[in-house]
Chains A and B, each alone.
Chain A
Amino acid sequence: MTALSGYLRADGRKGIRNRVAVAYLVECAHHVAREIAWPHRDEAHVIGFPGCYPNSYAQTMMERLCTHPNVGAVLLVSLGCESFNRHKLAEVIAASGRPVEVLVIQRAGGTAATIAQGQAWVEHALAQLAGQARVPMEVSELVVGTVCGGSDGTSGLSGNPAAGRAFDKLVAAGAACIFEETGELIGCEDIMAERAATPELAGELRAAVEKAARYYATLGYGSFAAGNADGGLTTIEEKSLGAYAKSGRSRISGLIKPGDIPPKGGLYLMDVVPDGEVRFGFPNISDNAEIVEMMASGAHLTLFVTGRGSVVGSALAPVIKIAANPEMYARLSADMDINAGRIITGEGTLDAVGDEIFDRVLATAAGQPTCSEAMGHAEFILTYKTFEPIGPACLPA
């Protein structure tokens, strides 16, 4: 097994990367942040929140992301007049022991002056981080998320269940694994509830899926298209089960919401559908919004299963791309870390591909760049949401 090592943080968590986060606190500061990070874009990643109006979810998400174990230092870029509470964010980062600087464009002298100051700060921070030694790290200290995007009829046959096999091995080794997309678990609530660690948690899992069904019904979201039937899917629960297969077969230890850090190893469902009235539109407007939420809950890396062929990566946390469709793999192989399409063609078994994904997780954690990482993908998106805290039955004792 690959020996792991990580960057030890003051809260005891360990990072598998040592990135500088350059965070814009409103869209108006986005260009300046991008220009600051550009000369060192492999190590300095741009994250941020575009909205000018306050949102406690976004504040929490940015606090969690800026203190993510893969982040070693943070530069905050403020326009100056936005509502985002930069003082509180800077305090949280400083309290985590990380170097942090706040640049306010309106005070620093505008675009060019802020870029110059920011680039100098990033260079200094990177030089500091370069001297940080890695310490031994166990598989049980890893947090791994999974998403599927650009799905087709093959996703539920190959990539998703193979990712589930890898999740089973990770959970058995003591890691914390997160699956999500409660809107695509409609029909899975009974079998999912049977896997809950406690009867109370079973009730919470069911309630999360029921909330998602109500939410999507209000949006008028059609989760079953004619193309699904052409690909051989007959019912919504069949489609859901394909996505659900990513969760593997382990007992479900808990239910978390974005930003909640799993308290110990095990398998966790992330409830991504906002609480309360339908307010800000679709829960997650694109795949990276899901990845960002799992990072906010501490995910060191994400397994991304795709049938049609998504090419995205992510800022801060590597993405391992798993191709479900053999025909797509042939076209986009340079973007794909794992060819699960060989399960479809009969050249590999779920167990063999699951083992390969597990091994790739360890190699990625040990420092090997993923395909998307090596090509500079560092996508990021964060939008408005509202959540209530999770209930007492949601986390393991």
Chain B
Amino acid sequence: MSDPATDDRLLLLSPADNVLVARAPIAAGERIWLDGRQLTVGAALSMGHKLARRAIAAGDSVVKYGAVIGTATADIAPGAHVHLHNLRSNYTATYALDAPAGGTP
């Protein structure tokens, strides 16, 4: 699925996406390939979590499955974890969650 020059633990669900999904855990600080470039992963990624495929500016749409899944609330660097701390729903806010951004232990 992914570009050959992208770490095979990362899944690209649609060519239009600006995020990739981890299909296996990736540790913080790991050097990984993403679209032919080497990046350092900032935060540990569990299976099913998202990572920015390219730079995403605050206010930009985040696209997964080729569809908008919400709006970036902060500038997101390539390789950064995309989750509750930098992405919000365009429908129902997920404020009810008291879990930390990286997920509960």
| A contacts, CB < 8 Å to B | 152-154, 156-157, 161, 186-188, 191, 222, 224, 226, 229-238, 241-242, 244-245, 343-346, 349-350
Nearest A residue (CB) for B68: A237
B100 to chain A, nearest CB (A): 9
Structural contact, A229 and B97, CB atoms closer than 8 A: yes
Give me the 3 closest cross-chain CB pairs, A-B, nearest first.
A153-B48, A232-B48, A235-B89
Structural contact, B67 and A241, CB atoms closer than 8 A: yes
B20 to chain A, nearest CB (A): 11
Residues of B within 8 A of A229 (CB): 83-84, 94, 97, 99, 103
B47 to chain A, nearest CB (A): 7
Structural contact, B48 and A231, CB atoms closer than 8 A: yes
Structural contact, B91 and A186, CB atoms closer than 8 A: yes
Cα–Cα, bound, A235→B82 (Å): 11
| A234-B69 contact given A229-B84, A229-B97, A346-B23, CB 8 Å threshold | yes
Structural contact, B13 and A157, CB atoms closer than 8 A: yes
A155 to chain B, nearest CB (A): 10
Cα–Cα, bound, A243→B24 (Å): 21
B73 to chain A, nearest CB (A): 11
Structural contact, B91 and A237, CB atoms closer than 8 A: yes
B60 contacts the other chain (Cβ, under 8 Å)? Answer: no
Within 8 A of A (CB), among B43-99: 46-50, 64-70, 82-84, 87-92, 94, 96-99
B60 to chain A, nearest CB (A): 14
Cα–Cα, bound, A253→B97 (Å): 38
B65 to chain A, nearest CB (A): 5
Structural contact, A230 and B104, CB atoms closer than 8 A: yes
Cα–Cα, bound, A235→B84 (Å): 8
A13 to chain B, nearest CB (A): 34
Cα–Cα, bound, A244→B69 (Å): 12
| Residue in A157, A191, A233, A346 whose beta carbon sits within 8 Å of that of B67 in the complex | A191
| A187-B46 contact given A237-B68, A345-B23, A350-B1, CB 8 Å threshold | no
Nearest A residue (CB) for B9: A346
B11 contacts the other chain (Cβ, under 8 Å)? Answer: yes
| A161-B13 contact given A229-B97, A238-B70, CB 8 Å threshold | yes
B34 contacts the other chain (Cβ, under 8 Å)? Answer: no
Residues of B within 8 A of A236 (CB): 89, 91-92, 94
Structural contact, B48 and A237, CB atoms closer than 8 A: no
Nearest B residue (CB) for A154: B48
Structural contact, B47 and A154, CB atoms closer than 8 A: yes
Structural contact, A230 and B8, CB atoms closer than 8 A: no
Within 8 A of A (CB), among B31-48: 46-48
Structural contact, A237 and B47, CB atoms closer than 8 A: no
Residues of A within 8 A of B1 (CB): 349-350
Nearest B residue (CB) for A223: B92
Structural contact, A232 and B50, CB atoms closer than 8 A: yes
Cα–Cα, bound, A345→B22 (Å): 10
Residues of B within 8 A of A344 (CB): 11, 23-24, 47
Cα–Cα, bound, A343→B12 (Å): 12
Among B23, B50, B65, B96: residue with most chain A CB under 10 A: B65
Cα–Cα, bound, A242→B1 (Å): 17
Nearest A residue (CB) for B87: A234
Structural contact, B89 and A226, CB atoms closer than 8 A: no
B78 to chain A, nearest CB (A): 18
Structural contact, A232 and B47, CB atoms closer than 8 A: yes
Structural contact, B48 and A187, CB atoms closer than 8 A: no
| Residue in B50, B69, B82, B83 whose beta carbon sits within 8 Å of that of A241 in the complex | B69
| Residue in A152, A161, A226 whose beta carbon sits within 8 Å of that of B99 in the complex | A226
Cα–Cα, bound, A156→B66 (Å): 13
Among A188, A233, A234, A241: residue with most chain B CB under 10 A: A234
Structural contact, A234 and B94, CB atoms closer than 8 A: yes
| A234-B23 contact given A241-B69, A346-B8, A349-B1, CB 8 Å threshold | no
Cα–Cα, bound, A230→B84 (Å): 10
B101 to chain A, nearest CB (A): 9
Cα–Cα, bound, A364→B49 (Å): 35
Known: A188-B67, A234-B83, A237-B69; 11 extra A-B contacts, CB below 8 A, are A186-B92, A187-B69, A224-B97, A229-B97, A229-B103, A232-B21, A234-B50, A235-B87, A235-B90, A238-B64, A344-B24
